[in-house]
A and B are shown apart, each in its own frame.
Chain A
Amino acid sequence: MPANSYLHCSTSLGTDIISFSQVFKRYPGGYEALKDVSFSVEPGEMVFITGHSGAGKTTLLKLIAAIERATSGTVLVAGQNVSSMRRRAIPFLRRNLGLIFQDQKLLYDRSAFDNVMLPLVVTGHPWRDAARRARAALDKVGLLDRERANPIALSGGEQQRLCIARAVVNRPNILIADEPTASLDVEYADAIVEMFRSFNQVGVTVLISTHDDRPIRKLNPRVLTLHRGSLA
């Protein structure tokens, strides 16, 4: 996979793995979600993005995965310019990202196991190896005994952990989570944050958006604060 080797090549050089420079995002209708945002993230960093709802956190994360495109400015992810990337190249970018969405986007027509299998099926992994990795990912989030369950039968915290399992099963270099603790009880939220910290400890770059400052006080990580689309 060319995108993958590209990624390793650039990380070994020690350059930034994510870099925004003078990024603007204007939605049709004139609403400016991001205004002149510039920052960079080094490989292996763990960064929290905070701000009120509507401050542009979700938009910022979407720009990294090319779910949205910047109106102007440059978004570099592992050396690739995402803001001007050809559509055909986007799937290969996303295979190196572990994405956890605010609305989860689990598929309710299949088991938890099959949900976790999906990223490996999409990349054409041999089934046996894929199944082994899917079980390992489920085990890591403590859901191995629920692999046959439909996601609808899982609790909110379990669903969130299932999303994490799906995001890490591909062994991505970058993990991006949009409000992963938003609807969870305090203990569940702490367990989730702890999970991200353990992935970070093995070298994964982690970006988490949140409006909950509990984990930030606890971990004292690097924090980017957005206020009405601008970095404070």
Chain B
Amino acid sequence: MRSWLRHHALSFAQTMGRFAASPFASLLNALVIGVALALPLGGYVLLANLQQVARGLVTDAQISVFLAPDASISDITEIDRRLRGTPGVTRVEFVGREQALAGLKRTPGMAEVVATLRDNPLPDAFVVTLAANEPESALRLEQEIKNLPRVAHVQADSAWVRRVSSLLKFARTAVVLMGTLLSFALVAVTFNTIRLQILTQRDEIEVSKLIGATNAYIRRPFFYLGALQGMFGGLAACVIVELAIFVLNRDLAGLATLYGADARLQLLSPADGLAVLAFAAALGWLGTFLSVSKHLYKIEPR
């Protein structure tokens, strides 16, 4: 057990020494992996930010229900009752036609227009606030309300919410695809690094086998090399993405002051960063495993 721990420490030290011995090559390797990981990671961060904005919009999903001009008071009460009884509806607000006109008059620039009207063209309306943020349920409710009597027109604000949502879904699929592909790239890069390392250490491996080294002993330093290289790559990816967000935020701040709003991208959380490092290390480990399985056993002493 102690000798096992000792060899782990030795493997780790040797691997770090190997990185230090060729800092430029190690840096380039980490950078290649970093760039490959930074693309999906950056996409993920942008998407997470967009999703947050979109979620804020979807919670306000409302449906405007315009009634037929000949709807009577009893019709209105009946519709009001039916709307309140519909599951998924949190608030029902009646906007009478007089009230709507008064509201329109208060809108700057609209008073003159309203003044030219001979009578009130506006219908009675309900503004219905939905509890569910899923666009699917909004669509279902919209259909239900449309079928109520005396309802002339239903305008769902969820139409564009749906568009944003499916767009986000599309982007998410794209990020996942890109992430998967570039993960393969990371595995391939590690595979090759380890292959080269095995070839350069060919003599050492052969001699070690001849003097009684177990396969586990011979494999161990390569696993450290692969996993640590992956981890450095993950670190590079995090740095790249954070730098990009930093630069983008500077530009966004300028944009935001013009619009009088506060818009800035969220940085990676520490948990996300750790997850990236662990994921990259795991991929490095996998690449090493494949490479070692393929190349190490070919080196048998003759």
Residue ranges of A at the interface with B (Cβ–Cβ < 8 Å) = 65, 67, 88, 91-95, 99, 101, 105-107, 109, 118-119, 121-127, 166, 170
User: Which 5 residue pairs are nearest across A and B when measured between Cβ atoms?
Assistant: A124-B3, A95-B212, A94-B212, A122-B213, A119-B211
Q: How far is the CB of B170 from chain A (nearest CB, A)?
A: 51
CA distance A95 to B214 in the complex (A): 10
Using a Cβ cutoff of 8 Å, how many contacts connect chains A and B? Answer: 57
| Contact (Cβ within 8 A) A107 B3 | no
Tell me if B's interface is mostly helix, strand, loop or mixed. helix
Given the complex, which residues of A lie within 8 Å of B211, measured CB to CB?
Answer: 94-95, 99, 118-119, 122, 166, 170
A122-B213, A123-B3, A124-B6 known; A105-B207 Cβ under 8 A: yes
Q: How far is the CB of A169 from chain B (nearest CB, A)?
A: 9
Q: How far is the CB of A56 from chain B (nearest CB, A)?
A: 15
Q: Bits for B205-216, please: 1 = Cβ < 8 Å to A, else 0.
A: 011111111110
B interface, size bucket: 20 to 34
- Is there a chain A Cβ closer than 8 Å to B259's Cβ? no
A93 to B, closest residue via Cβ:
B212
| Contact (Cβ within 8 A) B212 A105 | no
Instruction: Among B3, B213, B215, find the residue whose CB has the most chain A CB atoms closer than 10 A.
Output: B213
| Contact (Cβ within 8 A) B212 A119 | yes
Query: CB within 8 A of B212: which of A88, A92, A106, A107?
Result: A92
CA distance A101 to B302 in the complex (A): 11
Given the complex, which residues of B lie within 8 Å of A93, measured CB to CB?
Answer: 212
| Contact (Cβ within 8 A) B207 A107 | yes
| Contact (Cβ within 8 A) B208 A118 | yes
Given the complex, which residues of B lie within 8 Å of A109, measured CB to CB?
Answer: 204
Given the complex, which residues of B lie within 8 Å of A101, measured CB to CB?
Answer: 210
| Contact (Cβ within 8 A) B212 A125 | no
B10 to A, closest residue via Cβ:
A121
| Contact (Cβ within 8 A) A94 B4 | no
| Contact (Cβ within 8 A) A124 B206 | no
- Chain B residues 66 to 95 lying within 8 A of chain A, measured CB to CB, are none
A107-B203, A107-B207, A124-B3 known; A67-B212 Cβ under 8 A: no
Other A-B pairs beyond A105-B206, A126-B2, 4, CB < 8 Å? A65-B210, A105-B207, A118-B208, A122-B213
